[in-house]
Chains A and B, each alone.
Chain A
Amino acid sequence: MKVLLMGHPNVGKSVVFNRLTGANVFISNYPGTTVEYTRGYMKIESESEKIEVIDVPGTFSLEPKDKAEEVAVEMLKKEKEAVVISIVDSSKIERGLYLTLEIIEKGYPLILALNMWDIAKDKKIDIDIEELRNLLYIPVVPTIAISGEGIKELVREIKKAKPVKINKIIERVERTK
């Protein structure tokens, strides 16, 4: 089983990655490019299976604008069986959700990590997590990666992630209007 960490640049992907994997990490160039990515392993409690975690280069959308974004999109394409953890900066949630929905649309099981939850709170941004769960039908976990908050919950949700149909989400959103 593989887990891909995806999100915009500077949302804390690598911090989440370090929290999940610990030691035993490999850094390599994506074949044929000078774009680096990191790969490591984690274990879920009570299970012996090792899970490979890949820290995908940051990308704004699935329409690549530079080499690093190209690699990110290619990695996602290659790992058809992977579970994606979409990491979003809670204080800039709208842009993050755009990428998240793009990945959902491609049919990947996805967990949404609302990272930098403390910063959003400081900026007085209220996010209705229940409503997000009801609309998206995916696990949504608030996290503060630098202090480790929410990481356990994130791990617990990995096995629960299932692909969702994008038109169902659109239907649910339309209904709330």
Chain B
Amino acid sequence: MEKKFSEMKYGEKGVVKRIEKGFQEKIAGMGIRVGKKVEMLTREPLRGPVVVIVDESRTSLGLGMAKKITVEV
């Protein structure tokens, strides 16, 4: 099933399927690219950032950023 990154549940794992155009380069430096395995760790309340695990390290993404990424779960 496809989901937006921002809709993932706690502890849910998935593979990055699509990243919005023009945004790929911006996020590649954080280690997120198409085909990468990710795990959702936590979502901060009040529209706060989403924390994900990529390559065994944690990265936080703003909610706006998380909405631009589609994940296959």
Contact = CB atoms under 8 A, between A and B. Distances in A.
Interface of A: 59-61, 63, 65, 91-92, 94-95, 98-99, 123
Say which size band chain B's interface belongs to: under 10
Nearest to B29: A61
B57 A92 contact: yes
B56 to A, nearest CB: 7
B26 interface: yes
A131 B25 CA distance: 26
A95 B31 contact: yes
Interface string B29-73: 111000000000000000000000001110000000000000000
B55 A63 contact: no
Contact of B29 (A91, A92, A98, A123): A98
Nearest to A125: B56
Contact of A92 (B25, B26, B28, B55): B55
A61 B28 contact: yes
A159 B28 CA distance: 31
Contacts of B55: 92, 94-95
Contacts of B31: 92, 94-95, 98
